[in-house]
Structure 1
Amino acid sequence: MRVKLIMVQSINGKIRIKNSSQRSWSSAEDREHFYNITEDIGVVVMGRKTFEEIGSPLKKRINIVLTGNPEKYKEVELKYGKYLYFTDNPPEILLDELEKKGYTEIALIGGSTINSLFLEKNLIDEIFLSIEPVIIEGDLSIFNYVNDKHTFKLNDVKRLNKDTILLHYLKRDYEE
């Protein structure tokens, strides 16, 4: 099971504007990249806070939300049927269950605590990181905590527009 982390950050390394529900500070090109790659993968995994900020499941994708209290979201889950699931399974069990259902990859889309959970268990195979040409008063970085050294290698750099770049990293021990 391949895990691809898909994130956007500001020049100063922030992924969210502090005390703001404004989600669309990224460029149209980054949002198009995000849409295309996550739709192609077909399964997105996120934390509860990220889901609540988005407000509804991403269309044309299976949305899995990690939360300590999945029972609290049963009504929301029922509303969207087979496109939205809440779970408290640890990342490795979640990935094992998805693999048994025939999935081969997921898009990990945050937030920083969920990203850290996957990183600490050495489960992130690829990172797609867009860098937007803004400096924001942010309160979150890509990873909430890191307890060890995790090494990636730069696979590709692409311009999404005149000012925005997309970095694609592969885990050091991962070969395509």
Structure 2
Amino acid sequence: GAGVLVGVLQGDSSIRYFEITDESPYVHYLNTFSSKEPQRGMGFMPKRGLDVNKCEIARFFKLHERKCEPIIMTVPRKSDLFQDDLYPDTAGPEAALEAEEWFEGKNADPLLISLKHGYIPGKNRDLKVVKKNILDNKPAQNEAKLDEILRELKSIKDTITNQDERISKLEQQMAKIAD
């Protein structure tokens, strides 16, 4: 069947994607995303998180030194209709087995969902966001909360620095192995 092929290489600064069809010449170049910074790491949005109305076929989250950049890839289509060749049924959020069943040796195919009307989460998965200003409390509480936030921020920075050093060491080790 038809589909999309995405080419991503760690260390490269380009991401290329192609449409695959059932008819000759089978592979059609679509586009290239290029940036100055090479890939350090990537995360992928599950298919059910893509915008089917915009023919989004992939969304990456490219790791940079100080940020995570979303990269959205779409396939140009003239029609506003649902493009079923781009969106075959995909794995949904519900597990096909409970953990205990899997440990007992059972196996099951994933429970698939259609993306025809976009992904609509079940009621039990709705995310409720309560907007509350943490600075609405008394001044003493505000200072304590601010200190807590600053400690957490320092901890996160330390973790990122450690991970950065670890990645650098691993890259050096890989370079030695490659040579």
Q: TM-score, normalised by structure 1?
A: 0.20
Structure of larger gyration radius:
2
By relative contact order (CA 8 Å, sep 6+), the higher-ranking structure is 1
TM-score under structure 2 length normalisation: 0.20
